[in-house]
């Protein structure tokens, strides 16, 4: 089996050696364009070499460090990543936090997302808490700097916490710019300042948003895990891609307006222009059937095999309809709706829901609930955010019609937390 290596890394020779020992033949892509062409026929491993550093965020604070900090002044470690904290950074920060806390200094760890599942990290969390470090997960962050103090304010949307520190430790990553050029050519999902989305918890190690394209950032991956990650990729590639029967999208070329909307929004790079038909077409092996393309298509030219138009049975007054993402809410729904009179429509992703379906459901049901995954857990990246925007749009429109927008509920749930869904339904 042939595998394409793209991008640069000092570990490239080692990666090649491991792949060869696993029976793969390695080909090197000469340029992003070359990688794009080769990716049509072969799996690709994109190598990156980002640098990671814990540094004091400002010279002032460095000066204060030298001139001596007050004994009670806290140290704040900031993990402000758009997506998950990279698995290399977290143990590094937790270890540093433990040693700082043990030197009798108050320690705060502020994180946009708290992650687990990294070998050994649970123990480090435990050690950090035992040493007295406070770990705060936030959604909003603001930092005000003055000469000798940094006012940090964080909020989870409900509570706000403010603290002052002369010692803010930013855990910054310097991106591998070349890897990002490759990522763009390969059309894999990036976020924030073009960070490559390589490590959401539900993705196997190295997986990206696009099937058959893997990302190994040798600057961020702990060296002894490199081999395991490559083994895991090799295992996945050896498995038959069609082992799983999945719902997939298809384009009706006669209706397609060739507007490129689906091409731009597909998180999995599964659409490409078919010049001879003057229409888009779905690259079937890449499609995951999330239905985001079908929901955004302005010409209604995209359907999902296995799922027709989201079917809504004529309901009755007093009844609830719940659109449930099959990755979370649909699993929780069995328990959540045990004794609530509700109809459930399984949707492949929050992003597959369009405004029409919500409005149509309101015609016959007294209450409509849209229940999707947490934003950062959406395996189609922005599906949950898309569904929230559809809900907001329809709420605003029905409000103008004199219909109570409170009849539409929106909730982010975990498959393991049916009570959240139940509360939303009972409201």
Partner 1 sequence: MIVAELKPIEEIISTIESYERVLIASCGTCVTVCMAGGEKEARELASLLRLSPSMENTEIRVVNLQRQCDREFFEAADEDAAWADAVLSMGCGAGVQFMAERYSKPVIPALNTRFIGVNRDVGYWTEVCQGCGDCVLEKTGGICPVARCSKSIFNGPCGGSSGGKCEINPDTDCAWQLIYDRLKTLGRLDRLYETIPPRDWSLSRDGGPRRIRRSDVSTEVK
Q: What does the binding site for partner 1 look like in residue numbers (CB under 8 A)?
A: 255, 257, 259-261, 264-265, 297-300, 354-356, 359-360, 362-363, 394, 397-398, 400-403
d(CA 309, CA 348): 12
Task: Compute CA distances 367 → 26, 318, 393, whole Å.
Answer: 56, 8, 16
Taking the complex as a whole, how short is the minimal distance between the CB of residue 358 and partner 1, in angstroms? 8
Of 189, 230, 185, 227, the closest CA to residue 208 belongs to 189
Taking the complex as a whole, how short is the minimal distance between the CB of residue 212 and partner 1, in angstroms? 25
Taking the complex as a whole, how short is the minimal distance between the CB of residue 120 and partner 1, in angstroms? 41
H or E element, residue 171: strand 167-174
Strands (E), 352-397: 367-372
Other beta carbons within 10 Å of 27: 15
- State the burial class of residue 42 (Cβ atoms within 10 Å of its Cβ: 0-12, 13-18, 19+): middle
Question: β-pairing, 25-28 with 2-6?
Answer: parallel
Q: Which is nearer to partner 1, 49 or 352 (CB)?
A: 352
Q: Which is nearer to partner 1, 172 or 403 (CB)?
A: 403
> Is residue 209 within 8 Å of 200, Cβ to Cβ?
no
Taking the complex as a whole, how short is the minimal distance between the CB of residue 360 and partner 1, in angstroms? 5
Number of helices (H), then strands (E), in the chain: 13, 22
d(CA 5, CA 41): 13
Of 203, 193, 189, the closest CA to residue 233 belongs to 203
Q: Which is nearer to partner 1, 33 or 363 (CB)?
A: 363
d(CA 7, CA 177): 10
Residues in CB range of 260: below 8 A, 6 or more apart: 273, 280
DSSP annotation of 291: -
Task: Compute CA distances 319 → 66, 67, 221, 394, whole Å.
Answer: 66, 67, 51, 19
Taking the complex as a whole, how short is the minimal distance between the CB of residue 260 and partner 1, in angstroms? 8
Q: Which is nearer to partner 1, 163 or 265 (CB)?
A: 265
d(CA 324, CA 151): 41
Taking the complex as a whole, how short is the minimal distance between the CB of residue 378 and partner 1, in angstroms? 17
Q: Which is nearer to partner 1, 114 or 403 (CB)?
A: 403
> Is residue 345 within 8 Å of 312, Cβ to Cβ?
yes
Q: Which is nearer to partner 1, 239 or 400 (CB)?
A: 400
CA 311 to centroid of chain Cα atoms: 28
Taking the complex as a whole, how short is the minimal distance between the CB of residue 393 and partner 1, in angstroms? 9
Neighbouring-strand partners of residue 26: 3
Taking the complex as a whole, how short is the minimal distance between the CB of residue 313 and partner 1, in angstroms? 16
Q: Which is nearer to partner 1, 106 or 355 (CB)?
A: 355
């Amino acid at each position: 089996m042939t595998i394409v290596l793209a991008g640069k890394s000092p570990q490239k020779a080692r990666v090649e050696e491991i792949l060869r020992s696993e029976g793969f033949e390695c080909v090197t892509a000469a340029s992003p364009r070359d990688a794009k062409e080769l990716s049509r026929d072969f799996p690709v491993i994109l190598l990156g070499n980002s640098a990671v550093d814990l540094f004091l965020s400002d010279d002032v604070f460095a000066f204060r460090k030298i001139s001596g900090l007050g004994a009670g002044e806290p140290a704040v470690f900031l993990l402000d990543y758009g997506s998950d904290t990279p698995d290399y950074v977290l143990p590094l920060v937790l270890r540093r936090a433990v040693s700082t806390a043990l030197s009798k200094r108050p320690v705060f760890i502020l994180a946009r997302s708290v992650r687990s599942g990294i070998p050994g990290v649970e123990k480090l969390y435990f050690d950090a808490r035992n040493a007295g470090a406070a770990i705060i997960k936030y959604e909003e962050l603001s930092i005000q700097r003055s000469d000798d103090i940094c006012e940090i304010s964080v909020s989870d949307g409900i509570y706000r916490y403010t603290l002052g520190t002369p010692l803010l430790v930013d855990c910054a990553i310097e991106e591998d710019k070349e890897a990002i050029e490759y990522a763009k050519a390969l059309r894999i999902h990036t976020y924030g300042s073009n960070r490559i989305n390589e490590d959401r918890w539900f993705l196997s190690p190295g997986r990206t948003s696009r099937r058959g394209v893997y990302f190994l950032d040798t600057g961020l991956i702990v060296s002894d895990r490199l081999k395991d990650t490559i083994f895991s990729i090799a295992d996945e590639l050896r498995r038959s891609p069609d082992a799983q029967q999945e719902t997939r999208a298809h384009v009706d070329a006669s209706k397609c307006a060739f507007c490129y909307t689906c091409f731009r929004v597909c998180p999995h790079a599964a659409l490409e222009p078919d010049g001879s038909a003057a229409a888009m077409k779905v690259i079937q092996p890449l499609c995951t059937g999330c239905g985001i393309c079908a929901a955004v298509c302005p010409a209604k030219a995209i359907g999902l095999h296995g799922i027709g138009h989201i079917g809504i049975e004529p309901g009755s007054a007093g009844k609830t309809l719940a659109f449930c993402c099959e990755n979370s809410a649909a699993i929780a729904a069995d328990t959540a709706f045990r004794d609530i009179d509700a109809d459930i429509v399984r949707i492949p992703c929050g992003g597959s829901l369009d405004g029409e379906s919500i409005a149509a459901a309101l015609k016959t049901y007294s209450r409509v609930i849209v229940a999707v995954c947490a934003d950062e857990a959406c395996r189609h990246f922005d599906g949950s955010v898309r569904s929230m925007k559809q809900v907001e749009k329809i709420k605003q429109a029905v409000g103008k019609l004199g219909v109570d927008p409170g009849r539409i509920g929106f909730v982010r749930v975990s498959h393991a937390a049916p009570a959240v869904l139940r509360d939303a339904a009972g409201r």
